């Protein structure tokens, strides 16, 4: 098979790395890719026109396109490819609204009795501010559309919440993604990520995982795309797993089917495990990043048949999926200043030393090749991932890998997995 992967982050590097292990795969292309992906796949220039990209895929006889990020999914790339007779993995434009519109997602949850936070959606800033002043309790203010993982602002005081509304609705900090805001009660508990593959009817759950969204230790600082992850997540007990499948995953998939939006691809459910049980924080319509960096290395089975089964509606026939018993941990090395202003173009050294460590993989996110040097090219730069017999050892290995790598003003959290270690 010839495979095209779309994207340029750590998730896409991990996908390319996993797909390259399949005996079914002859060649992998990636657009636009990064310096790490270039070591495995052939990079092609970014084509913003999906019809032009489809023309290229037809000319190269691409057998399967795997879409990594949410933006092209929400824009309808899967629809465009399918209309051209190309096989593409991921939800179509209508189904991708689960991530592309938080208001759409909340409406689906309400209709199908899926547990989530109390919430209201607003397009008018004055009305939103009045609501905040009336309830006078901690909330989160969320841009309705896609905001690269940064459109969620805590409002633990009325003043903070009002400022968040003004930032999103008035100042348009996230552009059209902030034409509406969802204001929801703050949920107290521990977060976890629940990932399934689905063909629109059948679901295949992955092992559990948890990420760290805040920029600094102790879950302080600003919300980011993710500063690290680990798997398994001890907070997801077998009983909780069964509850989420029965009360969240299946009602979501069946609810989408009932409204004529069958969801095929990766359904990622962000959960808050509260004293009242799991509640849905968000849906994503693709692998999490950095959750992919700990989930895919634990997958022992070939990924390719699972992806094609989602497209073909035959996921129920994939009954022999195997997982490594090892735990996995990923530490994100970011540019200094991320998620605010940061500099790029910093030389990265020590990658070879980290790669030589047993059980360690370094997945590139924001990197590019400049001459003979690999340099930083984004906020999140590298995901240093390790497998080991237990979670404590995997986390230690990840930090050992981090210590081997250097670039100017590199920033990483020092407490990845602290909640899991406390439980253990």
Q: Could you tell me the CATH number of the domain that includes residue 340?
A: 3.90.600.10
> What is the domain range of residue 131?
124-179
231 and 310: one domain? yes
224 and 311: one domain? yes
219 and 155: one domain? no
Structural domains in the chain (count): 4
298 and 235: one domain? yes
pLDDT at 148: 77
- The answer as to whether 170 is a domain residue is yes
pLDDT at 423: 86
pLDDT at 4: 98
264-304 pLDDT, tens per residue? Answer: 999 999 999 999 999 999 999 999 999 999 999 999 999 99
- The answer as to whether 184 is a domain residue is no
389 and 293: one domain? no
- The answer as to whether 238 is a domain residue is yes
pLDDT at 241: 97
Specify the CATH number for the domain of residue 14. 3.40.50.20
pLDDT at 47: 76
25 and 47: one domain? yes
Positions in the chain short of pLDDT 70: none
Specify the CATH number for the domain of residue 139. 3.30.1490.20
- The answer as to whether 104 is a domain residue is no
215 and 310: one domain? yes
85 and 132: one domain? no
Nearest to 142 by CA among 112, 108, 179, 109: 179
214 and 139: one domain? no
338 and 408: one domain? yes
Nearest to 365 by CA among 353, 348, 350: 348
Specify the CATH number for the domain of residue 202. 3.30.470.20
- The answer as to whether 100 is a domain residue is no
85 and 174: one domain? no
352 and 296: one domain? no
pLDDT at 330: 98
């Amino acid at each position: 098979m010839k495979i095209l992967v779309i994207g340029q982050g750590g998730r896409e590097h991990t996908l390319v790395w996993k797909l390259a292990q399949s005996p079914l795969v002859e060649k992998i292309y990636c657009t636009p890719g990064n310096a790490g992906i270039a070591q495995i796949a052939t990079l092609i220039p970014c084509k913003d026109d999906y019809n032009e990209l489809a023309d290229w895929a037809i000319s190269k006889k691409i057998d399967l396109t795997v879409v990594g990020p949410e933006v092209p999914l929400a824009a309808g790339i899967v629809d465009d490819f399918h209309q051209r007779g190309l096989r593409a993995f991921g939800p179509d434009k209508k189904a991708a609204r689960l991530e592309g519109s938080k208001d759409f997602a909340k409406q689906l949850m309400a209709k199908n009795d899926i547990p989530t936070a109390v919430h209201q959606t607003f397009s008018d800033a004055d009305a939103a501010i009045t609501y905040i002043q009336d309830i006078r309790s901690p909330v989160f203010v969320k841009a309705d559309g896609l905001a690269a993982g940064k459109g969620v602002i805590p409002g633990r005081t009325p003043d903070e919440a009002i400022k968040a509304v003004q930032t999103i609705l008035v100042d348009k900090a996230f552009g059209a993604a902030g034409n509406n805001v969802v204001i929801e009660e703050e949920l107290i508990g521990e977060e976890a990520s629940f990932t399934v593959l689905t063909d629109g009817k059948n679901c295949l759950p992955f092992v559990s995982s948890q990420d760290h969204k805040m920029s600094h230790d102790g879950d302080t600082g600003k919300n980011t795309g993710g500063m690290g992850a680990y798997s398994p997540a001890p907070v997801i007990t077998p009983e909780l797993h069964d509850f989420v499948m029965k009360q969240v995953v299946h009602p979501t998939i069946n609810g989408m089917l009932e409204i004529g939006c069958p969801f095929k691809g990766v359904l990622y459910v962000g959960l808050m495990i509260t004293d009242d049980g799991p509640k849905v924080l968000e849906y994503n319509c693709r692998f999490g990043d950095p959750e992919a960096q700990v989930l895919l290395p634990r997958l022992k089975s070939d990924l390719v048949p699972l992806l094609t089964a989602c497209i073909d509606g035959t996921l129920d026939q994939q009954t022999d999926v195997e997982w490594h018993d090892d735990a996995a941990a990923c530490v994100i090395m970011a540019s200094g200043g991320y998620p605010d202003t940061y500099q790029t173009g910093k030389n990265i050294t020590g990658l070879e030393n980290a790669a030589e460590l047993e059980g360690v993989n370094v997945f590139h996110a924001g990197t590019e090749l400049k001459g003979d040097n690999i340099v930083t090219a984004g906020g999140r730069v590298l995901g240093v991932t390790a497998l080991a017999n237990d979670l404590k050892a995997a986390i230690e290995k990840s930090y050992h890998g981090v210590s081997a790598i250097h670039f100017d003003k590199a920033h990483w959290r020092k407490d990845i997995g602290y909640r899991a270690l406390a439980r253990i």
